Each structure stands twice: as structure tokens, then as C-alpha cells.
Amino acid sequence: MEEFAALLDALIYTASRNRKLALIADYLRAAPDTDRGWALAALTGGLDFPAVKSSTIRNLMMERVDPVLWALSRDFVGDTAETASLLWPEPKSQAPQGDLSLADVVTRLSALTRAAAPKELPGLLDRLDAKGRYALIKLATGGMRVGVSARLAKTAFAQAFDVAVDAVEEYWHALAPPYGELFDWAAQGGPAPDLADVPHFRPFMLAHPLEGGEVDLADYAAEWKWDGIRVQLVRAGGETRVYSRSGDDISATFPELLEVLAFDAVLDGELLVRGTAQGGEAGGAASFNALQQRLGRKAVSAKMLREFPAFVRLYDVLIAEGEDHREQPWESRRATLEALMDRLPASHFDLSTLVAADDFAQLAAIRETARDEAIEGLMLKRRDSRYLSGRKVGLWYKWKRDPLLIDCVLMYAQRGSGKRSSFYSDYTFGCWADDPDAGADLLPVGKAYSGFTDEELKKIDRFVRQNTLNRFGPVREVERKLVFEVAFDSVHASKRHKSGLAMRFPRIHRIRWDKPAHEADLIASLRALVKD
């Protein structure tokens, strides 16, 4: 545990990507089995201890230190694990000696129940110093936030044992922590994991944004970029699985897709829902707002299946009946996919259509007029591109439609977390319910915490502190006089919000220090952008 704590401490204070890679690689080479496997799982979000929540830690601390001191300290530091690790009182009696291994800690955390956690955790925390306590709390609550993405951790693994990161990605999602087979293959030179009859995730091919340029349509094909969630359907060994873009198994959320793929394959597409309950043409794709009714649900009711039936709009084929097509050019894969469509039920699959244009200027005009609820923009794919994992320059581009813009007034601000814990960086903004000069009030329409520079953040933070009207815990209500130009992708009717509207991907586009608040937009202007 001491070595893992030292690794986390070093990662927190390291900004360099290459240095982070080296730190993780060094740890993986030196740490014993199975500690290094559990460490890898922790860094990539592969561990879950449901008995331990942030509230568990908070309650333990308020039993041991003054609750006001705890609240003030937590608010100032901005991180529960860091605050608790520093404030945890030294044990009155000598705690058992001997270093806890990471594997020991994982075993104990896995065995905890919600009732037992408050009784067992203090004994573990008493055996550790501040760095160890920080590592244990981060591990237990699942919020590492040490500047390490899953991709970076896998890259460090590949560098540690001189294996291809694409191969690591290929095996990763089919294996469970502590990844014994993965380490046997990479570190010990053993055979590669045999996954022939195991449905497992393959890394997606991704696109770069198209910024300020154009492509030759003789070399690139265009197709719509649909506003759903990118998924991969995998059938192997008589079993079908649905994976999200990050490799998470979301099969249980979309059970209607598990019995409709009749042959072994790996297919790439966009998961959408049909119906008109939340917009969209009957039989076509509804808005993302409709899809959200299905996302994240562990159990799906018959009513939900009936009102928001899922289907997949297919983009690509990676593998079909044992033949790997990833080394084939896009044009060949597209022809293969088109030939497969007759074998796929139209109730659950269709093909993403290509967009025909004589030249790039015409394609740009088509993109500008596309405001279908389910369309985000265009994809441009090089006709001779192989299916390669990750983003490769010059092969695929995403060309999103320009965002919608509306002027809103800042209403509430909340302090951020981590590096932003000292700043009011999360903003709730609203539009006028009616004419503000006639006494109308603002209705909140969205919340954003991105789109501004560090210098702008400092200036907004100063405005919030100098113009506070009320405080509600960590939230400040401010005078209605700062206007944000807010960018968003679309807006939908929503019963969950007082305004009756919900924005899709709102972000601060511009801070209008020059604009009086009464000139901000009305709710009616925003409502007019809702597609029927």
C-alpha cells in the first residue's frame, strides 16, 4: 500500500505526460502480483466498492473532528480524500504494525457491507500515514482524479513491458482485475489470452475535428454524424454484448439488442431510439433527449421498451463470421456492411446514409441546413482508410454543425473542485420569463462550467464575490447583471426543469461584460428553437 500511495502522490504533482507514463511503468515493473493488477484497475476505474461512499468518510470525520472545522476545511481544500487524510486524528493506542499490501486492502474493502464499513474503515486508516490514508480513501470511493486517463494507464502498461498498446486494448476489456492473464502475457512472455469465443470490446476508430479547412470529396466520403451514443455490438460464442465508446458493457440497459444479431460479428454504429414521445419522426431517430430516458438504467421496464425502443444505425463492420475486415479500406468495409444488411432485422438495425455532394461548397451548404434533432453534423472518412484504433491524422474528420447561441443572465455560482476549489466556476444562468422592463423574472435554463479562460475565470469569480445576494451552502445567488452568450447544440422540452426546457451541451461562448442584463433573451426565444 505504501508504494501505491507513493505512486498516487507522485502522479498528483506531475504535469508531464511522459513523466506520468514513466512513473506508472516503473511501478508496474516493480510491484508484486497481484498489487500491480489492482493498481491498474484503480487507475482505470475498474474497481467498485459499493459499501463505501463519500458520505461514509464524511460521517467518520464529523465523529472525530469538529463538524464546523470539517465543513470549512473541506470547502477550502475541495477534495474529501485530501481533507480527511490530513485531518484524521492519530490513534490513541499503537495500531498494528506491518505494511498493508494493496491486495489486502482490496480484499477487505470488497468484503465490507454498508453497515460494517463505518466500523472497519477506522482500523485501516489508523494503520496508515497521511499519504496512505489519501490513497485508501481514493481507492475506496472510486474517485482517483490524479490526471491519469484509462488510455494513459494502458499506454504505460504497454511501455512497461514493450508490447503494442493496441494489443493491450484488444485484451483489456475481456479480462477482469487483477488481470493475471494480461501480466502473464506481457511481463512473463506467456501466451496471449485466448478470446476467440468470448465477446469482447475492440477499440473504436475516432475522428479529428475539421477546423478551418476542406477535403477533396474524391478522396473522402461524407455521412451524417448522428446524435446518439456510439456503440459496438459483438457476438461470439453464442452470446451478444453491447459496449459503449469507453468499453463499458451496457448490454443490460438495452436488452432488446441481445437476441437480434444472428451471426458472429463486431459492428460499429450509433445507438438511437425511435418514436415520437420526445420528438423525431415515427420510425426514425428521436432526439438525444429521448435516448436519455434509457441511459444508465439497470432495469428497463416494459413501458420504457415500448415507448423508447432502441436501434443501431450502423457505420462500419470490423469482423464478420471470423473474417477480420479492419485492414481493408473503408470502401471495402462499407460494401461488406451493405451486403450484411439483408441479414439484420430492420426493426433493430439500419444503415447510416452517405451524403452526396458535387463539391465541398455544396456539402457545406447541406451541413448548414441540417437541423434534424438527431443530427450533430457530418463525418468525413477517407475512402482508403483502414479501421485503426484511436485518432489518426488525415483519415476521419468530424464536422459538427455550428452551435446555437443565446444570451443568458448569470443567476447562481458554485465553487468547483480540485484545482478550481478556490473559484466560483460552475454557473447557472437563465432567460427572462417575459419582458424584464415589465417586472418579469429570470427562469434558469442551464448550467455550464467550461468555455472560458483562466483569466476570465478569475474575473467572473471576483464578480460573484462582489455581487452576492444570498448563500445556500456552497452556492451563491448573484445580482442579475452579468450576461453570458451561451452556446449549445440543441434544446428540448423537459418536465424536470422549471423553465420547461433543457439544453444539450451548454457552454460559455462569450462573456458579455458590455451587455445590460435586460437585453438578454426571453424564454420564448429559446422555446422557439425546440423542434416539434
Instruction: Say if residues 285 and 374 touch (Cβ distance below 8 Å).
Output: yes
In 51-129, alpha helices (H): 54-64, 67-77, 80-87, 102-111, 117-126
pLDDT tens for each residue of the chain, 532 residues long: 999 999 999 998 888 999 999 999 999 999 998 999 999 999 988 899 999 999 999 999 999 999 999 988 887 787 889 999 999 998 877 655 557 899 999 999 999 999 999 999 999 999 999 999 999 999 999 878 787 888 899 999 999 999 998 889 888 888 999 999 999 999 999 999 988 888 999 999 999 999 878 899 999 999 999 988 999 999 999 999 999 988 889 999 999 999 999 999 999 999 999 865 444 444 578 877 788 788 878 788 898 898 899 999 999 999 999 999 999 999 999 999 999 999 999 999 999 999 999 999 999 988 887 766 678 889 999 999 999 988 888 999 999 887 889 999 999 999 887 677 788 999 999 999 988 878 889 999 999 999 998 899 999 999 999 999 998 878 899 999 999 999 998 888 888 788 888 888 899 999 999 888 998 999 998 988 886 5
372: which residues sit within 8 A by CB, 6+ positions away?
531
Is 257 exposed, middle or buried (CB count within 10 Å of its CB: 0-12, 13-18, 19+)? buried
Report the pLDDT value the prediction gives residue 172, as an integer from 0 to 100.
86
**pLDDT score of 329:** 98
The single-letter DSSP state of residue 145 is: -
Please state the pTM of the whole predicted model.
0.78
Domains of the chain: 2-141 (1.10.3260.10), 205-398 (3.30.470.30), 404-527 (2.40.50.140)
What pLDDT is recorded for position 77? 81
Q: Return the C-alpha cell found at 478.
A: 448573484
Cα Rg of the chain, angstroms: 26
∠ Cα 278 279 282 (to 5°): 110
Joined together, the cell numbers standing for residue 513 give 461584460
| pLDDT at 374 (0 to 100) | 75
